[in-house]
Structure 1
Amino acid sequence: MRPICGAASGCAVHASGKGWCCAWRVQCCGSDKGEIRLTFSPGPFGRGRRLANPGILFYRGLSIISYLGAKDPGMGSEPFIFCPRCGARLTQRFMFGRERPVCPACGYVVFYDPKVAVGVLVEHEGKVLLVRRRYDPGKGGWALPAGFVEIDEGPVAAAIRECREETGLIVRIRSVLDVFPVSMDPRGPAVFIVYRGVPIGGSLQPGDDALEVGFFPPDGLPSPLVFASTRRALWRWRREKGFPERRFY
């Protein structure tokens, strides 16, 4: 299995020698050497790195070929047009309960899956830990320490890592607070798992993606609170503390 740009199927973008190919969202170089520019790839390759004849890509023994697709969360979601396995033009077919892109040549079925994101509601002495975001989305607003799960880690490990990166604190995860579907994020749909945690070490200080960090009481939360998932988690936390019901979303 090899990432290709669909040239074998008459990809007009490849024929023009420029632009973004619609099968893998790779930038065609205008040659037949297979040199492509990835717009998104997890693991060690990074965004926009040029690879020559990549073949099958592996990261720590895990094939990440299925992650190099059209669903780039940083550039919006566009549908596949060509099969990422053989390059044939995809057709729509009712399979597994809904219409899906299916390759008529090799039978490959495209599944558009949400990303997995995690956050931690860290409580200490009756206060909750919040981060003021340095970057969009939500730049300048306050949110729970949170981020996306990397390809080589589990959700709990990701939550601990994100909290330490953003706040400097080492936390112990105690339980799951809630799980929220996220559909309006510009980076793409996600499933957001919010854990309960307590600090067990580290030093409170903002990371390179945070402007400020701090602990806040239930009746003194900062503004604005960004992301519906953060507001819902804090609303639930306030209710558990016996504060008057106040919806943030």
Structure 2
Amino acid sequence: MSYKATPYNFCPVCGYPLQTSIIDTLPRRTCPECSYVHWGDFSLGVGGLLWHDGKVLLVQRGHNPGKGMWTIPGGYVDQGESIGTAIVREIQEETGITARPLSIIALRDRPTEKHDTYVIFLMEFMGGNLQAQPEEVSDLGFFTLEECHTLPIPALTLSALQASHSASQGLVLNPDVDLIGPLSTLYQMP
């Protein structure tokens, strides 16, 4: 998906007209009145690999981009929401299944016009019944790895499925480190 950011003309903090300044050798939109700097456009997404009884949970996308493709459930992280909370919410909304994050097993970094980062979690099944969110999901189900190879699946999803099937653990949440900020979380090797 291509995204072309429209440059800011006015400061989102104080409303003063922005100017272009060179910071760290790059042109950046800055405010001469309040010192605001526009560092760029970013998006953060999450996806969840949920294995249950030897099968993985997949959803069929109900809209573009990728309409008809099978992928892991996921979506965007809301401002003020942790990535762990976001993936639990996205899986529940899209599939009706309750799950909890076990570890981070992959990270896709796509620094295009809008810097796009996608964190993939290995999840644990907690309960619930399959129920597709009609606004986003046209179908869903649990599939074996062999069945996944017969479905139209993006390369990123298939690669993460294969890695999760053989990996026991990735980066895990460490709640014992005192971090700055009430929503801060640290994922690290066990």
TM-score scaled by length of structure 2: 0.75
Tell me which residue corresponds to 2:138: 211
Give secondary structure in 2 for the equivalent of 1:220.
helix
State the Cα distance separating 1:220 from its structure 2 match.
Answer: 1.7
Query: How many Å separate the matches in 2 of 1:164 and 1:117?
Result: 15
Q: Does 2:62 correspond to 1:131?
A: no
Give secondary structure in 2 for the equivalent of 1:232.
helix
Tell me which residue corresponds to 1:201: 127
The one-letter code sitting in structure 2 at the alignment partner of 1:191 is: T
Contact 2:107 2:117 in 1 (8 A): yes
Tell me which residue corresponds to 1:230: 157
Tell me which residue corresponds to 2:81: 153
State the Cα distance separating 1:133 from its structure 2 match.
Answer: 0.8
Query: How many Å separate the matches in 1 of 2:122 and 2:102?
Result: 6
State the Cα distance separating 1:196 from its structure 2 match.
Answer: 0.4
The one-letter code sitting in structure 2 at the alignment partner of 1:158 is: A
State the Cα distance separating 1:163 from its structure 2 match.
Answer: 0.4
Query: How many Å separate the matches in 2 of 1:81 and 1:198?
Result: 46
State the Cα distance separating 1:104 from its structure 2 match.
Answer: 3.0
Query: How many Å separate the matches in 2 of 1:231 and 1:119?
Result: 13
Query: How many Å separate the matches in 2 of 1:168 and 1:74?
Result: 30
Tell me which residue corresponds to 2:22: 94
Query: How many Å separate the matches in 1 of 2:159 and 2:79?
Result: 27
Contact 2:103 2:121 in 1 (8 A): yes
> Considering only CA atoms, is the larger Rg found in Structure 1 or Structure 2?
1
The one-letter code sitting in structure 2 at the alignment partner of 1:237 is: S
Tell me which residue corresponds to 2:118: 192
Structure with the bigger percentage of strand: 2
The one-letter code sitting in structure 2 at the alignment partner of 1:213 is: L
Change (3 A) 1:199 1:97: farther
Tell me which residue corresponds to 1:62: none
Tell me which residue corresponds to 1:181: 109
Partner deviation per Cα, 1:194-217 (whole Å, 9 max, x = no partner): 110121111012122211111111
Change (3 A) 1:88 1:184: closer
Partner deviation per Cα, 1:54-113 (whole Å, 9 max, x = no partner): xxxxxxxxxxxxxxxxxxx99741111233334444332222453311223433211214
Give secondary structure in 2 for the equivalent of 1:229.
helix
Query: How many Å separate the matches in 1 of 2:2 and 2:77?
Result: 15
Q: Which runs of 5+ in 2 are unaligned?
A: 169-190
Count of residues in Structure 1 that have an aligned counterpart in Structure 2: 166
Q: Which has the higher contact order (CA 8 A, sep 6+)?
A: 2
State the Cα distance separating 1:240 from its structure 2 match.
Answer: 4.7
Determine what percentage of the aligned residue pairs are the same residue.
33
Partner deviation per Cα, 1:166-208 (whole Å, 9 max, x = no partner): 11110121111111113469xx432111110121111012122
Query: How many Å separate the matches in 2 of 1:199 and 1:167?
Result: 12
